[in-house]
Amino acid sequence: MGKREQYVKYLRSLLEGDAGAAELEAFLVSNSNLPGPRGNLELAFALADCFEAPEVGGRHPDLLRRWSAISPREAGVNDPRSFLTFCAVVSLGAWYTQAPEGVRGEVLGSIKAAASDTRWRVREASAMAFQRIAEKDFSVVRDVFSSWVETATLMEMRAMEAALAHPPILSVRETADFCFEVTDAILRHVESLPADERRSEDFRVLRKGLEYTIGVFAAAAPDAGFPFLRRWAWSDDADVVGIIRRNLAKSRLARRYPQEVLELQEGISGGS
């Protein structure tokens, strides 16, 4: 039995037994690995695995609400209690398809709010939560992102990109096509940004995400991906061209499609 499975077994005993919330919180906090560079992902994912069971989520929805509402002021990025927020957001994604219809909107609202959190781990949890939902029912994520992308903030755009760059959901061609649609809208938004917004931390985070996600999509669907890369490589926007350059430099494309990548790189160099 692996570490994650051991965690699941123990957490289920707490969640389905008579243990109080304080005991569960204490276990999560004390095993969070925070402060430190890497939180305990195995433990967080194990808790989310538990919430995929209808009987767990149905019994403890208030727990996830309370933890997801812990603010950056109450628990900063390296505060062990912020791990509760991370765990709660990922678990909300795991619980979503099992949650009653009447609370699903609230669940999605909490996951979306986490995308703009000042704590980077909580922002990652938002993307992971959407991935959990997408693995079960991609139509939910498609509908949410379709209605969201045109008005989303830079951080929200980054969350959508990170959520979609998830290999388990990219084997379906329609999913990959949708990823290009979302990315197309985001790159058009980037082209419209004034210089002062491009100097913001939010833009830096979005750009860093775009520098790898497009390559993930292109590797999953190269027949659509390379025309997409080619079209945006000729943009008049230096930031957009830089984003395309960085994707082409990643090994996931360069090793598998060296000729196509070389042609694009040479084209960009010749046009710059």
Find out whether the peptide bond into 72 is cis, omega within 30 degrees of 0: no
pLDDT level of residue 16 (50, 70, 90 thresholds): confident
Predicted confidence (pLDDT) per residue in 19-75, tens digit: 678 899 999 999 999 999 999 999 999 999 999 988 887 788 899 999 999 999 999
Domain range annotation of the chain: 1-136, 138-272
Q: How many CA atoms lie within 13 A of 200 on its CB side?
A: 13
Predicted confidence (pLDDT) per residue in 105-139, tens digit: 999 999 999 999 999 999 999 999 999 999 999 99
Residue length, the chain? 272
Angle at alpha carbon of residue 261, lines to 175 and 208, rounded to 5°: 60
pLDDT level of residue 178 (50, 70, 90 thresholds): very high
Predicted confidence (pLDDT) per residue in 201-227, tens digit: 999 999 999 999 999 999 999 999 999
